[in-house]
Amino acid sequence: MSVNYEEKASTGLNQLGLETALNQLDQCSQQAAAQNWSYSHFLGYLLDAELSERHRKTVQLNLKFARFPYLKSIDDFNFDAQPSIDRRLIDELATGRFLHEARNVIFLGPPGVGKTHLAISLGVLTANLGYRVYFTTAIDMARKLAKALAENRLKREIQNLVRPTLLVIDEVGYLGLDTTQASLLFQVVAQRYEKNHSIVMTSNKPFSDWGHIFANDSIMASAALDRLLHRCTVVNIRGDSYRLKEKKLAGASFDLNPA
């Protein structure tokens, strides 16, 4: 009795859960016959289609999990408007090597200079590379952790923040933290350091002012910075706010230092 290998291939692909390869099997078989593909060419084509679709779905899930407020890319960033930024340094970060080296990235600078744009860009890059990333502001994370502490589920909440390959913490220092919140932020930093998982941070405060961020606890601030800066790329952006520039171009005038 002859064996129907086309049916056998379909059944096997279905049992292995190779949905995309199964869907493209007939078309691929016809193309292979018409173009006289080798067996390895035919198999490689099917596997490439399957892997490409799986990667697309992984990226889609990663972006959904990340909870970015919006999507940005480094290609969208206006480097001409911020000449203080070393483009070569950003291009190096865009390779994703900082993730494999367990390096942190901290963007410092006044409001509106593009810190969040660059931080989200690195987060989107991480998702596109197939890794899990999570975005939060410092105050939102601190409040969520404090709530988890009160509800006796802190361990699970911290694990959720430690597990992703990359954690993006935006607006560190924009709003003050109380002693409990500062301690919880430190715990996340410390545990990610122990796991060799990268953090991307943005802050409008120089490191000399981080004692205020950690509820005026200079010892805790020093301990956090010791871990963050051990393996870290610091990008200090000196420039004017994009938003203020746009207002000025539109003809608005306002005094940032009223009498």
What DSSP state is assigned to residue 215?
T
Average pLDDT of the segment spanning 229-257: 71
Residue with tokens 């939102």: 140
- pLDDT value for 258: 47
What DSSP state is assigned to residue 120?
H
The mean of the pLDDT values for the chain is 92
- pLDDT value for 256: 53
Reported as a single tens digit per residue, the pLDDT across 57-72 is 999 999 999 999 999 9
Q: The CATH number of 67-239 is which of 3.30.465.10, 3.40.50.300, 1.10.287.70, 3.30.200.20?
A: 3.40.50.300
Residue partners of 19: CB distance under 8 A and separation at least 6: 50, 53
For strand 198-203 and strand 232-236, is the pairing parallel, antiparallel, or unpaired? unpaired
The 3-state DSSP class for residue 179 equals helix
Task: For 6-28, give the DSSP string.
Answer: HHHHHHHHHHTT-HHHHHHHHHH
> In the chain, what percentage of residues exceed pLDDT 70?
92
| Domain locations along the chain | 8-62, 67-239
Average pLDDT of the segment spanning 173-183: 95
Above 90 in pLDDT, residue 2? Answer: no
pLDDT band at residue 259 using 50, 70 and 90 as cut-offs: very low
b/e map of 73-82 (b: 16 or more CB within 10 Å)? ebeebeeeeb
Above 80 in pLDDT, residue 255? Answer: no
Phi, psi of 20 (to 5 degrees): -65, -45
Reported as a single tens digit per residue, the pLDDT across 95-119 is 999 999 999 999 999 999 999 999 9
Above 90 in pLDDT, residue 209? Answer: yes
Average pLDDT of the segment spanning 25-38: 90
Q: Give the residue, 157 or 43, on which the prediction is more confident.
A: 157
- pLDDT value for 239: 76
